[in-house]
Chains A and B, each alone.
Chain A
């Protein structure tokens, strides 16, 4: 079964200080000076597929894992890490566009890739990215391809070559469904899903495989009509309770602030 994982590399936004949240005239925020990382929901999806692969032995299914990202060559080190972890194919669609708020365009690029490949059975992705927070890409992809979609996936288990057992969180509760391929899965908050770390030996052995780089024909991404960006100020009084010991501070907290509220 061929599974394609679509992921995004994002800047570590929690590292920005209060004064850094300024948008320029093009509505861009400078995040060039902080390190990047896996988008958190995508990371869960990547690890989920590795766990699925770990489970595959008793089930007579071969899972062929590939990974796709859209961005510039700074993403390559992430793709190499995926090779080192056992992903069979790593692809980058080279694109310098501002992709923050164009889910439609991104879904289109993925759909085009899937169409060109012709042999992809399952697509999995995180539900939204840290910067854009659009929360639309997996849905739009489902509409563009006409494939079914299941969201909020927390675990995937093997069944056979025609379907997958998927555990999800829904509005009604936790649900396990068996779904036929082809299908699209998207991942929200899934416990125990930090991505494992490849050894240096695996990086040497597997990490040097070539990354397929594809160009985008139409570089004009139809944006979502971004008009304005402004920082949000959450500050409150921030009074720090003083005292000689934790117990003393707890006493002040209780007497001065909590007693009346409890």
Chain B
């Protein structure tokens, strides 16, 4: 498996890959892991989190795909299966590494199964309305797993042995790089209670009011794509396949229509409440309970009940 040591939540990544490995690749040879990490901080990688005995570290100044690929492909074998995470970087290097080694790749994979003819994989297609099964025929198989599948704590006691590969050099086509705005540790993904604002929320102020409500219930605010695209909330609040995948105990959607690509972002919620003016909105059938009303009066009343306790 290939891990990204730059991500704020390294442990989560390991648990996700561990889960996938347990589900679908348990019977295969014990894995080795390649970790891309920050140059100078190799010591900081928490090796205990890695569900593999053999570890190779590829140090790099920052996560630069071309630099990493050059070193990564030298560590990879033709016959193998490589599991990557679901981050932007992982998707990119999975596909490109496979291309360089004349293998096959797939991103957003939900399931794999090795058969005689090759590797069968399942992933979402048609804006997440359907699940497709493909047969990949050429190894190495570079599989970037889907977001939100599951986590399995790493409880391996065997010793790890670590090797540091040659460092990845930043190529010269990049003249400058500034990191502005660091991503905070995953909060939306961990939220136990979520209020999600959709385009029916109407404007920035109402979205902010919903954020206040989310704070009252000690939860977080998420938004659907139209809200983020319109800059009524920061892009980080985006929930869905191209944003954050959540699994709260309680999710209240407000003015959300419920298209599949968004819905997957809340699908694992224990309990979904939908508030929408339109009784034909797709979210209604995908919610546990629904209120068909303009949200403002409902939310004001609800807010009061919550305050009174």
Contacts and interface: CB of A to CB of B under 8 A. Distances in A.
| Chains A and B touch (C-beta atoms under 8 A apart) | yes
Interface in B260-303: 260, 263, 267, 271-273, 279, 282, 284-294, 297-299, 301-302
A225 B137 contact: yes
Interface residues of A, number: 76
Given A179-B173, A238-B286, A257-B273, A172 B132 contact: no
A171 interface: yes
A95 interface: no
Contacts of A239: 288-290
Given A171-B63, A226-B134, 8 more contacts: A13-B127, A189-B229, A191-B231, A231-B130, A237-B288, A250-B301, A254-B302, A257-B288
Given A143-B100, A240-B284, A250-B291, A173 B238 contact: no
Interface in A75-89: none
Interface of B: 4, 6-8, 62-63, 65-66, 87-89, 91-92, 95-96, 99-100, 105-108, 118, 120, 123-137, 171-183, 193, 217, 225, 228-231, 235, 238, 242-243, 249-250, 257, 259-260, 263, 267, 271-273, 279, 282, 284-294, 297-299, 301-302, 305-306
Contacts of B282: 14
A133 interface: yes
Contact of A175 (B92, B108, B179, B291): B179
Interface in A117-167: 130-136, 139-140, 142-144, 148-149, 151-152, 154, 163
A172 B179 contact: yes
Contacts, number: 250
A189 B243 contact: yes
Given A143-B96, A177-B176, A229 B291 contact: no
6 contacts: A148-B173, A169-B235, A177-B177, A191-B230, A232-B124, A247-B301
B160 to A, nearest CB: 24
Contacts of B284: 238, 240
B125 A175 contact: no
Given A191-B230, A227-B133, A250-B301, A135 B125 contact: no
A151 to B, nearest CB: 6
A257 B6 CA distance: 41
B305 A254 contact: yes
A228 interface: yes
A172 B87 CA distance: 10
B83 to A, nearest CB: 16
Contacts of A192: 229-231
A171 B7 CA distance: 7
A199 interface: no
B291 A139 contact: no
